[in-house]
Amino acid sequence: MGVTGWGEINNMENDVTCRLAESLSEIIIGENPTRIEHHWQRLFRAHRNIRGGGLMVHTISAIDMALWDIAGKLWNVPVYRLLGGPCRDKVWMYPSPKAIKTGPGGSKPFAGTPAEIKELVQKVRDAREQVGPDGAVMFDAHSCLPPPIVKQFASYLKADDLLFLEEAWVPGNIEVMRKIRESVPVPLATGERDRTIWEVREILEAQVIDILQPDCGHGGGISQMKKVAALAEAHHVPIAPHCTMSHLGLTASLHVAASVPFFLIHEGYKGVLPESVARKTWEMDEEGYVSLPEGPGLGVEVDEASVIETGKDAERKFTWPDSRLKDGSVADY
């Protein structure tokens, strides 16, 4: 029928994920593209030994976005209409003039000196001065602050200093999350690296966070993000979607954010890719709210020639991070 859908693979080694996408596509080529849930299950459960891994789920996320894009175009409605319709008229987003996120500026030692703790606290103070008392400040610990230094840092914070403290641990250890929950006065958030409903379930049931941060490009696409939001709602935990994708993946995530009732704020950045790659149909107002995407499907116009040209840019080639402490030892980030 000549309908094309687009999705985005995020934070992955390009050569590997593109080849994986081609391989996975063999499972669903020739099928009805509107059987989105059925196709998601076939892709996710295609091979027992690689089910659920980052490479697989990130790649499936992009395919899922593309299928929703096709479905919306076939029925000539925005994707959020297919998800039950909008629960809000606009979506609060950061960074904006009244909502910003700060962070530690790199990996820190297991426990900090007074000078190191003062530096972290000052980052919060500087951000608060920038947005004022009616603005929102978030601090992304990025899993590069070990639990002891998180406790030291957070002991200087008041409950209303932050909208939330993000990734104050390395994913996977519920007991560490409980200990931090007991000693930290500000709301806690996590979820960008917790893929699918099966990984999120344990965190929600343990009641160790206040805000969940699913990522549409990391956690299984639009299909899983909608389910994760419902699971979080059942635990009275709003979502604040994590997103470092271009306007394509970001818009896919906004469709979910528009359609779920329990939502706080959405992350999204300019300049991830050149504007010519993916043209959006929403705009941000002075208060940091963005309008709902317009047009059928995702509502993003993709320039395939620009995509190909951007992919040839050597400066955009994936490189492996090398996060280390001052002594040269490997650090989390």
Contacts of 316-325 with CB under 8 Å at 24 or more apart are 317/14, 318/12, 318/13, 318/14, 323/106, 323/107, 323/144, 324/107, 325/107, 325/108, 325/109
Which residues, including other chains, have CB under 8 Å from residue 122's CB and lie 6 or more apart? none
**Over 70: is that where the pLDDT of 314 sits?**
yes
Cα pseudo-dihedral 264, 167, 222, 56, rounded to 10: 180
What does the alpha-carbon distance between residue 256 and residue 85 come to, in Å, rounded to a whole number?
10
CATH code of domain 82-296: 3.20.20.120
Q: How confident is the model over 142-160, as pLDDT tens digits? A: 999 999 999 999 999 999 9
Contact 158, 168 (CB under 8 A): no
**Over 90: is that where the pLDDT of 207 sits?**
yes
What does the alpha-carbon distance between residue 156 and residue 133 come to, in Å, rounded to a whole number?
18
What is the structure's pLDDT at 311? 86
pLDDT mean over 286-303: 97
Percent pLDDT > 70 in the chain is 100
What does the alpha-carbon distance between residue 94 and residue 175 come to, in Å, rounded to a whole number?
30
**Over 90: is that where the pLDDT of 10 sits?**
no
Diameter over CA atoms, the chain: 65
Q: How confident is the model over 161-195, as pLDDT tens digits? A: 999 999 999 998 899 999 999 999 999 999 999 99
pLDDT mean over 72-76: 98
Q: How confident is the model over 230-265, as pLDDT tens digits? A: 999 999 999 999 999 999 999 999 999 999 999 999
Contact 301, 74 (CB under 8 A): no
At 270, list the tokens.
């300019």
At 308, list the tokens.
């190909």
Q: How confident is the model over 13-54, as pLDDT tens digits? A: 988 999 999 999 999 999 999 999 999 999 999 999 989 889
**Over 90: is that where the pLDDT of 327 sits?**
yes
Lowest-confidence segment of 7-16, 223-232, 280-289 by average pLDDT:
7-16
pTM greater than the 0.75 cutoff:
yes
The catalytic site residues sit at: 142, 242
What does the alpha-carbon distance between residue 303 and residue 49 come to, in Å, rounded to a whole number?
36
25-42: string of b/e by CB count within 10 Å (b at 16+)? Answer: eeebeeeebbebeebbee
Cis status, amide bond into 274, omega within 30 of 0: no
What does the alpha-carbon distance between residue 102 and residue 223 come to, in Å, rounded to a whole number?
30
Neighbours of 147 (CB within 10 A): 20
What is the structure's pLDDT at 11? 86
Burial class of residue 306, CB neighbours in 10 A (0-12, 13-18, 19+): middle
What is the structure's pLDDT at 14? 86
Burial class of residue 282, CB neighbours in 10 A (0-12, 13-18, 19+): buried
What is the structure's pLDDT at 1? 62
What is the structure's pLDDT at 199? 95
**Over 80: is that where the pLDDT of 215 sits?**
yes
* Centroid of chain to Cα 16: 21
pLDDT mean over 207-226: 98
Percent pLDDT > 90 in the chain is 92
